[in-house]
Chain A
Amino acid sequence: MENKGLNKVDLIFEKIDNHEVLAKGFKMSKDEIIQEILNSGLKGRGGAGFPTGMKWKFTSEAKSPEKYIVCNADEGEPGTFKDREILDRVSNKVHGGMAIAGKAIGAKKGIVYLRGEYRYLLPKLMIELDSFHKMIKKIGYDFEIEYRLGSGAYICGEESALFESIEGKRGEPRNKPPYPTVSGVYGKPTSINNVETLVTAMMIVQHGAKNFIQYGTKDSRGSKVFSVSGDTPTPGIFELELGMTVQQFVNEFGDGDTKAVQVGGASGFCVPRKKFAETIIGFEGVPTGGSMKLFNSSRSMYNVLHNYLEFFTEESCGQCTPCRVGCQQLLKGVEKVKKGEAKSTYLNELMKLADTMKIAAKCGLGQSVGNAFKSIVGNFKEEIIY
């Protein structure tokens, strides 16, 4: 197990000369950009962790005169707020990352899908976007970005649901295949990347893949921004090198009484105290889009689970059976067990249901409801029952 310890880094929010980095990026061929990103081992920072270079490669290979780069700024995972901060502080790097991605995949159009909850950022972003457009025009590069807003639907963070939303429809995930790299927004080949991923890609173009892979581990290259909240004396945004254990994280951010850390938000995993030392935060251990939520011993894990299940019951798009009905069953089930109206052994049935949801739901949301459920019930069974 590779353990890099807890190291704070300052790359994402580092102020850069956007013009210089872009000029460098635009001089590279699309294959050079893609190769650099592939070499960096960068994986998507939204949570799913798909290799960014592969995504760009596939989209670049898709044959279509019209392609899109979409920036997923529908940051809805409970406990995640890093993309808001990135957009607030370094939106120029987001726009720049999109332009570079656009060059790599052959897209002249970029769309930022910004969650409605962050609408207050829009006036500032419009000013930033305007100067960005002027700058790339000066460089002589043909690329345009448009902002589209969400309106309060967690599921729109799912890539194909996000496309549906841009197209003016209910944010219901599509069947896959076809994947976005073949048929994305408006049915055109699309690379959809998280806000932070695009900034990181920009950074890799700036400093080179070699520099990037000095950070992190084999499976989790680089650093990433963590959103730290819950029972911690220092909640906030922290850029950390990947490859630390939960214990190291808790040593830094815990309040001395941490009993569990929810890594990756409501759709992520709950790590109990006894597993802190053995669990690496990263794709080799517990992956996260950045959400790190600490719970101390005063918290009821039943309440935590109940809150998450309510969240999913409301935020499921509702189209597929395992997710729509499964969420309701899990929620009602734990309520009944808690009240003593169902036997504690009923939790075993619910654990099996969570397994079914993992393999049978249509999209990532339904497939990940089981993560929190299984890890909380599995590790804190007594708290759920009594």
Chain B
Amino acid sequence: MINLLINDQKVAVQNGTTVLAAARKLKINIPTLCNHDDLCVAGNCRVCIVEQKGAKTLIASCATPAAEGMEIHTNTLKVRNARKHIVELLLSEHRSDCTKCYKNQNCELQSLANDFAFGDHVFLDLVEDKKYSIDRSSASFIKDDSKCIRCQRCVRTCSELQSVAAITVANKGAHQKISSFHNRPMSQVVCTNCGQCVNRCPTGALVEKTAIDQVWDAIYDPDKHVVVQTAPAVRVALGEDLGYDPGERVTGKMVNALRQLGFNSVLDTDFSADLTIMEEGTELLVRLKKALVDGDKSISLPMFTSCSPGWIKFVEHKYPEFLPNMSTCKSPQQMFGALAKTFYAKKNNIDPSKIVSVSIMPCTAKKFEADRPEMRSSGFKDVDYVLTTRELAVMIKQAGIDFRNIEEANYDSVMGNSTGAGVIFGATGGVMEAALRTAYEIVTGREVPFGNLNITPVRGMDGVKEATIKIEGCVEAWKFLEGAELKVAIAHGLANANKIMKMVRDGKATYHFVEIMACPGGCIGGGGQPIPTNLKIRQKRMAAIYAEDEHKELRKSHLNPDVIAIYKEFLDQPNSHKSHELLHTHYVERDNY
């Protein structure tokens, strides 16, 4: 243990603890900007400077390890003056049109400025000298360099967490900026639209491209029938933007709020998650049969899940040779969208051209996915507008709904029923678990051999998880799988996905089925989820997801009555011709820069 003094208080910390963390242990708050719990230390912004006795300069508390006998003062006049200067310098480079900013009151720079209660701005405005540009090219987010404070959280996120490095620090000195490859529009580079950078941007430099106004317009258009679907991970995070602590399940209130907002029908992406299991599970079993029994060399294994549009785009850019390995299943959002304007329209006798299909997603990449030209199987744009969890919270506030005090409500049907298996899609390992619950039962006629259906080896926050499931006692149709060991792997965060891809590419690992989610923790840590994010928050959301599962009456996708009904009434059977037409898709190779 290392003993030091901070503001004359003794504290003992583990070797390697930063001065910042040591101060936090004493409940001493040191402001930070470039520091983020998920990322490596940068020590760039210098906001967290403190005074160390005997040192000539101030030290960055986030970047300095605590040392034995250190004497630190966090709030001397010297520190305050320097810190004030630093915040002012940042403001001088930042377009401070706060009241008109999307991040107004949700901005770390603004809140720091607020702490210093600046009356007069001392330094000269540099914004006018810079030829700042706003990049609106991405379907998912807006990059406004005039709001950027060069903390490099986004750059570290993109390279450390996602191993994409679509953005970088470019140039130096006064010209230093955060840039894509040679300043190309974000829509024309390897960016996966995952939005993890948006989640970590302390200012309004990176924000989702909002569709709030378009959705309001649709809701108030008397000619339109507006259906909304909600992704599994939204219900365990929305509360954070509406005054709840992380990990609160607000499903019922959310449904009620959506109804109050004026959506004509409030349905659930969990339904199409269950449907995905039927389609993707069948696809896997068919691939296994063709590869293992028929010896069909054209079948690509392992099969990768395809629910995460960030992951899809990652493969399209970086591993196009593995596109045949991707499940052809659309994501639950897009399955839902295709059915909303076909099955749902028909069943409710609504002209599909009058349907506006909206989804509430924990994700920014879903905005891009909905815009893909492949996603028009219904003859229309299958999903018209995608809102993030954050945008939904904004709409709820705009509408003046007293979220905390409204009643809980249930989803509409049809396409509103779901099982616990659909719910856990929101957490890393969830698709795998849901698939196994169903596939194992199809093949063996028995439930998965895990207590209370909880397949714990595929759960948790480990970056890469592996499991082997021995298949025994197969029913007649699946006898060829008797004794087979199904090898599966799960990764979340594209840096972990990249590890798996390298192992698979280099023949260092053989799997049959791999679940990958682009975001850390899976969708619960999605780029459209409430800000801030860190491991603790994600763990709480994850616990809430599994609690939601446990509370469900039905916990296996194939038991979802809406799913059973749709096959009976509309789709015939999994992987049928109709399914392929509406629920499956294809991918395109993209440039790797």
Our verdict on whether A and B bind, yes or no, reads yes
* A interface with B by C-beta (< 8 Å): 153, 155, 170, 172, 175, 177, 312-322, 324-329, 332-333, 336, 342, 349, 352-353, 356, 358-362, 367
Given contacts A175-B43, A319-B150, contact A324 B124 (CB under 8 A): no
Judge whether B63 and A175 touch: CB under 8 Å.
yes
Query: Which residues of chain B come closer than 8 Å to A319, judged between CB atoms?
Result: 42, 44, 150, 152, 169, 176
Of A316, A322, A325, the contact of B93 (CB 8 Å cutoff): A325
User: In the complex the two chains form, is B172's CB within 8 Å of A317's CB?
Assistant: yes
**Would A177 and B64 be within 8 Å (CB), given that A321-B45, A324-B150 are in contact?**
yes
Interface contact B57-A325, CB-CB below 8 Å = no
Chain A residues whose CB sits within 8 angstroms of the CB of B46 once the complex forms? 320-322, 360-362
| Contact in complex: B45, A356 (CB < 8 Å) | no
- Tell me which residues across on chain B come within 8 A of A177, comparing CB atoms: 64-65
Between-chain CB contacts (< 8 Å), 26 pairs:
A155-B172, A170-B172, A172-B169, A313-B174, A314-B173, A317-B172, A318-B176, A319-B152, A320-B45, A321-B150, A324-B173, A324-B174, A325-B90, A329-B89, A332-B124, A332-B126, A333-B123, A333-B124, A349-B122, A356-B82, A359-B58, A359-B78, A360-B46, A360-B86, A362-B44, A362-B60
Q: Are A322 and B86 in contact (CB-based, < 8 A)?
A: yes
**B49 and chain A: residue at smallest CB distance:** A360
Q: Does B81 contact A (CB under 8 A)?
A: yes
* Distance A367 CA – B58 CA, assembled complex (angstroms): 11
Interface SS of A by simple majority: helix
Shortest C-beta distance, A368 to chain B (Å), equals 11
Q: Is the CB of A356 within 8 A of B123?
A: no
Q: State whether B43 touches A321 (Cβ < 8 A).
A: no
Residue of B nearest to A171 (CB): B172
Closest 4 CB pairs of A and B: A318-B176, A325-B89, A175-B63, A356-B85
The 8 Å CB contact of B57, one of A172, A315, A360, is A360
B41 at the A interface (CB under 8 A): yes
Once the chains bind, are A356 and B81 in contact (CB under 8 Å)? yes
Whether A318 lies near B92 (C-beta < 8 A) is no
- B86 and A362: CB pair below 8 A? no
A328 to B43, CA, bound (A): 20
CB distance from B308 to the nearest CB of A (A): 30
Task: Assess whether A329 is in contact with B92, with CB atoms less than 8 Å apart.
Answer: yes
Q: Which B residues between 147 and 202 are near A, CB-CB below 8 angstroms?
A: 149-150, 152, 169, 171-176
Which residues does chain B contribute within 8 Å of A360, judged by CB atoms? Answer: 46, 49, 57-58, 82, 85-86
Closest to B123 in A: A329
Query: Which chain B residue lies CB-closest to A349?
Result: B122
Known: A155-B172, A318-B172, A327-B174. 12 other contacts (CB 8 A): A175-B64, A312-B173, A314-B174, A318-B175, A319-B150, A320-B45, A325-B93, A328-B174, A342-B124, A349-B123, A359-B82, A360-B57
Flag whether B129 is at the interface (Cβ < 8 A): yes
Interface size counted on chain B using CB atoms at 8 A: 39
A367 to chain B: which residues have CB within 8 Å? 57
Please state if B173 and A313 are interface contacts (CB–CB under 8 Å): yes
Q: Determine whether the beta carbon of B169 is less than 8 Å from that of A170.
A: yes
Task: Give chain B residues whose Cβ lies under 8 Å from the Cβ of A312.
Answer: 173
- Complexed CA–CA distance, A315 and B176 (Å): 10
Chain A residue at minimal CB-CB distance from B93: A325
Bound-state Cα–Cα, A155 to B175, Å: 15
Q: How far is the CB of A369 from chain B (nearest CB, A)?
A: 12
**Binary flags per residue of B28-56, CB closer than 8 Å to A gives 1, else 0:** 00000000000001111111010000001
Q: Which of A315, A325, A327, A352 has the most CB of B within 10 A?
A: A325
Question: What's the Cα separation between A311 and B78 when bound, in Å?
Answer: 28
Which of A177, A317, A328 has the most C-beta atoms of chain B within 10 angstroms of its own C-beta?
Answer: A328
Which residues of the partner chain A approach B49 to less than 8 Å between Cβ atoms? 360
The answer on a CB contact under 8 Å between B63 and A318 is no
- Contact between chains at B172 and A153 (CB < 8 Å): yes
Q: How far is the CA of A353 from the CA of B63 in the complex (A)?
A: 23
Given A175-B60, A328-B126, A322–B78 Cβ distance below 8 Å? Answer: no
Residues on B with C-beta less than 8 A from A327 are 173-174
Smallest CB-CB separation from A341: which chain B residue?
Answer: B124
* Nearest B residue (CB) for A328: B174
Complex CA gap A339/B65 in Å reads: 46
Question: Which residue of the partner chain B has the closest CB to A312?
Answer: B173
A322 surroundings in chain B (CB, below 8 A) = 46, 82, 85-86, 89
Is A318 a contact partner of B171 (Cβ separation < 8 A)?
Answer: yes
B129 touches A315 (CB 8 A): no
Report the minimal beta-carbon distance from A362 to chain B, rounded to whole angstroms: 6
Q: Digit string of B93-104 for contact with A (CB within 8 Å is 1, else 0)?
A: 100000000000
In the bound assembly, the distance between CA atoms of A206 and B90 in angstroms comes to 53
Using CB atoms, name the residue of chain B closest to A329.
B123
Cβ < 8 Å to A, chain B residues 58-90: 58, 60, 63-65, 78, 81-82, 85-86, 89-90
Q: Which residues from A are CB-within-8-Å of B93?
A: 324-325, 328
Shortest Cβ distance from residue A371 to the other chain B in the assembled complex, whole angstroms: 13
A320 touches B44 (CB 8 A): yes
A315 near B44 with CB under 8 A, answer: no
A150 and B175 CA atoms in complex are apart in Å by 20
With A328-B126, A328-B174, A362-B43 as given contacts, are A321 and B89 in contact (CB-CB < 8 Å)?
Answer: yes
Q: How far is the CA of A319 from the CA of B63 in the complex (A)?
A: 14
- Complex CA distance for A175 and B129, rounded to whole angstroms: 30
In the complex the two chains form, is B173's CB within 8 Å of A318's CB? yes
Residues of B within 8 Å of A332, CB to CB, are 124, 126, 129
Q: How far is the CA of A155 from the CA of B173 in the complex (A)?
A: 10
Contacts of B176 in A (CB 8 A): 317-319, 324
Closest to B151 in A: A321
A362 to B58, CA, bound (A): 9
Chain B residues contacting A175 (CB-CB under 8 Å) are 41, 43, 60, 63-64
A342 nearest CB neighbor, chain B only: B124
Q: Give CA–CA (A361, B44) in the complex, Å.
A: 9
Q: Please indicate the chain B residues that have their CB under 8 angstroms from the CB of A314 in the complex.
A: 172-175
Chain A residues, CB < 8 A from B58: 359-360
Which chain A residues border B78 with CB–CB below 8 Å? 359
Distance (whole angstroms) from the CB of B578 to the closest CB of chain A: 53
**Least Cβ–Cβ distance between A353 and chain B, in angstroms:** 6
CB distance from A206 to the nearest CB of B (A): 35
Q: A325-B92, A325-B126 are in contact. Are A359 and B173 (CB under 8 A)?
A: no
Q: With A and B bound together, what is the CA distance between A273 and B46 in angstroms?
A: 37
A367 to chain B, nearest CB (A): 6
Contact flags (1/0) for B115-128 with A, using CB distance below 8 Å? 00000001110100
A362: B residues at CB distance < 8 A:
43-44, 46, 60
In the assembled complex, the CB of A276 is this many whole angstroms from the nearest CB of chain B, namely 27
Closest residue of chain B to A350, judged by CB? B123
Q: Point out the residues of chain B lying under 8 angstroms from A336, CB to CB.
A: 124
Taken together as a complex, chains A and B put the C-alpha atoms of A281 and B355 apart, in Å, by: 82
Please state if A318 and B152 are interface contacts (CB–CB under 8 Å).
no
Question: Closest CB of chain A to B45's CB: distance in Å?
Answer: 5
